[in-house]
Amino acid sequence: MSKITVLVAIFNAEKYLHKCLDSLVDQTLQDIQIVCINDCSTDSSRSIVESYASKDKRFVLINLDENKGQAVARNKGLEVADGEYITMLDSDDWFDPDSLEKAYFAAKNSDADCALFRLVQYYEENGRVEEYRNRTDKISFTGEDAFRLSLDWSLHGLYIVKADIHKSYPYDTSCRLYSDDNTTRLHYLHSRKVVLSDGCYCYRKHSDSMTNSCSILRFDYMNANLSMKKTLIAEGVKGYISNIEEVLDMYENHRWLNVVDAYWYYWLHKSNFSREECMEIERRIASMLHTIEKKRIAPSLKWKLGYYPFRSYVIFRFVENLYFSLRRLIR
């Protein structure tokens, strides 16, 4: 058994892959397993990983015959993971040399099931470097406290977690993007203790990223949010969440804001989508309106212009178009 298994899902990542894999080879914590899942790449990603694997027995390469997205790829990696703890690293990101060592010993020395990295964001276009600031002064949490903070990302979602927890709650395959959001929250919820570490996860922000490009997949976030709500209800029934109604109220407000934000993004970038994509995006948003529980939306939010949860998509679209047009004029 290794101390940590690192899951690296890869799809056409040749531009960034060497930096990612070099950062794993150079870790001061040597007792790691590096599981690379090639999600049917059409560039040289596979041969790059094969080159590393031929020189370093810590590498495991899994080749998928069909592109299924990060969630499916990572879950395939989970099947062979042998680490005491498990983490993920996106193929365009990297770790500082001592990141895994710091996270591992932060968890072990605190008897914690989960240890978060420091998250440092590197903006490729302008060279800006910015650390993500968790909106809490605490450095140690109960699992439920960490879970609650993660609902609005007051606590980010990059960490190592005990293997038994990760394998009990694999990645959410209900959408191709944002599959790790729901999984993160469940990992926190089922951890006895969550701590912060000084290990650094280096997150690359660039226009090539799917989450930063004009893709219909960006709207998967609404489906991921709905899937999370259903999971919260199920976990509440099992008794894992105290004050479940309060949590559902909080999450429903968060989910509603994301629906409005989805329409805002569509309104700004509509010209970048095809007619068929526009129809599909509007269909998704319209169907999502019917899942919002109006009674859970805070009065201070729903009575603001642009934030009333109408069921009718025609009315919603009219109000949002008016609201966003006014916002643009004021700015």
How many whole angstroms separate alpha carbon 120 and alpha carbon 199? 10
Instruction: Give the pLDDT score at 210.
Output: 52
* pLDDT at residue 114 tops 90: yes
- For residue 304, the one-letter residue type is K
DSSP strands (E only) in 147-304: 159-162, 193-205
Mean pLDDT calculated for residue range 130-157: 95
For residue 207, what pLDDT is reported?
66
Give percent above pLDDT 70 in the chain. Answer: 97
Residue 208 has a pLDDT of 60
Highest mean pLDDT among 64-73, 82-91, 211-220: 82-91
From the list 201, 224, 217, 240, the residue with the least C-alpha distance to 122 is 201
The pLDDT tens digits for 243-289 are 899 999 999 999 999 999 999 999 999 999 999 999 999 999 999 99
Q: Is the pLDDT of residue 88 over 60?
A: yes
pLDDT at 172: 87
* 202 pLDDT higher than 70: yes
Instruction: Provide the pLDDT confidence category of residue 125 given band limits of 50, 70 and 90.
Output: confident
**76 neighbors 7 (Cβ within 8 angstroms):** no
Q: pTM for the whole thing?
A: 0.90
d(CA 234, CA 236): 5
pLDDT digit string (tens) for 207-246? 665 555 678 888 988 998 999 999 999 999 999 898 899 9
pLDDT score for 73:
96
List of long-range contacts for 320-328, beta carbons under 8 Å, 24+ apart:
320/260, 320/263, 320/264, 320/267, 321/267, 324/264, 324/267, 324/268
State the average pLDDT over residues 191-203. Answer: 98
**Mean pLDDT over the full length of the chain:** 94
